[in-house]
């Protein structure tokens, strides 16, 4: 079903007054279309498959009904409810499991759940687990079980192997960013986890796109689901101004400095292709007096959390991120996103630029297009039904002129091999950050 709903208030969705108190009116003035449709469905225990753009409110759409279900089953006003909760904890079981692809998204989702359940104190236990940190504190945190667990697949399996928890009591399974879970190669981990779950449960799949791999999984697991699909899911929100700047690979770092200073960009999330570029470009910006930090998978969890905290507090002006950050990051009122390197997958263009222009705020998304990436940029435009004029900025023009039409292919028999393309890109990248 496509979403086209009349305005509604959260109190009209079947949520308890106690839970509604946790919703700050300034942050959540009214439910989004996804929330209007999904919340009543989840409360009824039905499976759901949601495809909606980044920033449409999918996380809150499943978090609210899961907390409502938990509050109903463990009412603080009834001794029986308290005893039931204590029993669940002793047996190490979990009521709801939320699987996410990245550590950053896990932390964000857990923070939302904790804010919604704070008023119930210890009677509603929210736990988050992810890799890249010691497993021992997480095992300690799971002693006595938990009510809602947010986890990345790899660390969840580690904990299962350590007998730190049981999944036999799961009532609801949520796959948040389900398409990304499959894209990042979690298929085997997902299959292992699914075998540990009870066959009778509620399943909620949420994603920004709907690749064939996800269709196959959904058809196998979802029972008579309600399908929610936001109109124009592959198009970007109107409040995001998209621009394409045509330049040479070796001029991108200087062009980035120029844009930050000349266009007075107060805060920018810059996407790069590799950890090396993340480190090197951040270093170049710092030399130019711009507060910049790299953000990639080789950084410690503590460092990554510190970078995000500094970025949100505007102590850091620019974050150079690999695609690790393309999903799950919610920087309030982030004004701009720059694609220093184009995303390898055309689908990820949506997720990258979706970091800006959120919650009704205007946003700016700039992509650097080079002679080497013209064909790939044409593919991105085609997949997202956009056509942007390629700008040339004085002093940063590409040596090669912009072709009248940049095709998606090439001359038969003259195409570079995959290895040659990788060598070419690596060489150009090394030159660009020197």
Provide the pLDDT for residue 75: 57
- DSSP structure class, residue 121: G
Do 215 and 207 contact (CB within 8 A), yes or no? no
**Fold: same for 10-229 and 240-432:** yes
Q: Is 75 exposed, middle or buried (0-12, 13-18, 19+ CB in 10 A)?
A: middle
Cβ atoms < 10 Å from Cβ of 223: 10
**pLDDT value at residue 423:** 53
pLDDT confidence of residue 243: 95
Instruction: Look at residue 231 in the predicted model and tell me its pLDDT.
Output: 60
Tokens of 82: 């308290």
- Only one residue has tokens 């996804």, namely 34
Domain assignments of the chain as residue spans, ordered by start: 10-229, 240-432
Determine the 3-state secondary structure of 400 from DSSP: coil
What does the pLDDT profile of the chain (434 residues) look like in tens digits? Answer: 544 555 678 888 989 888 998 888 777 888 999 999 999 999 999 999 999 887 788 999 999 999 999 888 765 444 444 444 443 444 567 899 999 988 888 988 999 999 999 888 777 899 999 988 899 999 999 988 899 999 999 999 999 999 999 999 999 999 998 888 887 778 889 999 999 999 999 999 998 888 888 888 888 899 989 898 876 444 444 478 999 999 999 999 999 999 999 988 989 999 999 999 999 999 999 999 999 999 987 888 788 888 888 998 889 999 999 886 555 566 777 899 999 999 988 878 887 888 887 656 788 999 999 999 999 999 999 988 889 999 999 999 999 887 765 444 433 334 455 445 555 555 555 555 55
- Reported as a single tens digit per residue, the pLDDT across 69-118 is 988 876 544 444 444 444 344 456 789 999 998 888 898 899 999 999 98
Determine the distance from the C-alpha atom of residue 305 to the mean position of all C-alpha atoms in its chain, rounded to a whole number. Answer: 15
- The CATH number of domain 240-432, selected from 1.20.1250.20, 3.40.50.300, 3.40.50.2300, 1.10.357.10: 3.40.50.300
pLDDT tens digits along 268-310: 999 999 999 999 999 999 999 999 999 987 888 788 888 888 9
How many Å separate Cα 246 from the centre of its chain? Answer: 28
State the pLDDT at residue 259.
95
In DSSP terms, 368 is beta-bridged to 245
pLDDT at 329: 63
How far apart CA 242 and CA 213 sit, in angstroms, is 29
Contact of 18 with 76, CB cutoff 8 Å = no
Distances (CA, A) of 8 to 56, 65, 231, 254: 15, 16, 19, 48
| DSSP code of residue 276 | H
Q: Which residue has the tokens 């297009």?
A: 369
Distance CA 278, CA 282 (A): 6
303's tokens: 């460092």
According to CATH, the superfamily of the domain at 10-229 is P-loop containing nucleotide triphosphate hydrolases (3.40.50.300)
Q: How many residues can be counted in the chain?
A: 434
């Amino acid at each position: 079903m496509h979403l086209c709903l009349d305005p509604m208030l959260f109190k009209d969705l079947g949520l308890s007054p106690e839970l509604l108190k946790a919703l700050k009116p300034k942050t959540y003035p009214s439910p989004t279309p996804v929330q209007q449709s999904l919340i009543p469905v989840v409360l009824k225990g039905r499976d759901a498959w949601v495809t909606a753009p980044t920033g449409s409110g999918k996380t809150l759409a499943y978090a609210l009904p899961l907390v409502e279900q938990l509050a109903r089953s463990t009412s603080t006003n009834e001794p029986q409810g308290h005893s039931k909760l204590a029993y669940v904890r002793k047996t190490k079981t979990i009521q709801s499991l939320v699987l996410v692809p990245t550590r950053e998204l896990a932390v964000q989702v857990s923070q939302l759940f904790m804010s919604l359940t704070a008023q119930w104190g210890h009677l509603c236990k929210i736990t988050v687990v992810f890799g890249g940190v010691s497993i021992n504190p997480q095992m300690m945190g799971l002693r006595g079980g938990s009510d809602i667990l947010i986890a990345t697949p790899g660390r969840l399996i580690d904990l299962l192997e350590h007998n730190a928890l049981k999944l036999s009591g799961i009532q609801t399974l949520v796959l948040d960013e389900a398409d990304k879970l499959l894209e990042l190669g979690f298929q085997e981990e997902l299959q292992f986890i699914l075998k540990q779950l009870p066959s009778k449960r509620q399943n909620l799949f949420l994603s920004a796109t709907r690749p064939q791999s996800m269709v196959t999984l959904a058809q196998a697991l979802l029972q008579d689901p309600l399908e929610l699909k936001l109109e124009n899911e592959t198009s970007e929100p109107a409040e995001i101004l998209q621009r394409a700047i045509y330049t040479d690979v070796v001029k991108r770092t200087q062009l980035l400095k120029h844009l930050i200073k000349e266009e007075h960009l107060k805060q920018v999330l810059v996407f790069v292709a590799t950890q090396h570029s993340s480190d090197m470009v951040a270093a170049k910006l710092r030399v130019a007096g711009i507060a910049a930090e790299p953000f990639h998978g080789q950084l410690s969890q503590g460092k990554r959390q510190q970078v995000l905290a500094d970025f949100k507090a505007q102590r850091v002006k620019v974050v150079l991120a690999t695609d690790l950050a393309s999903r799950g990051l919610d920087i309030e009122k982030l004004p701009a996103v720059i694609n220093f390197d184009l995303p390898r997958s055309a689908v990820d263009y949506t997720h990258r630029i979706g970091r800006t222009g959120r919650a009704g705020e205007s946003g700016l998304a700039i992509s650097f297009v080079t002679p080497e990436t013209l064909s790939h940029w044409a593919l991105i435009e085609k997949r997202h039904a956009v056509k942007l004029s390629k700008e040339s900025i004085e002093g940063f023009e590409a040596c090669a002129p912009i072709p009248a039409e940049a095709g998606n292919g090439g001359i038969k028999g003259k195409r570079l091999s995959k290895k040659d393309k990788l060598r070419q890109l690596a060489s150009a990248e090394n030159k660009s950050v020197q």
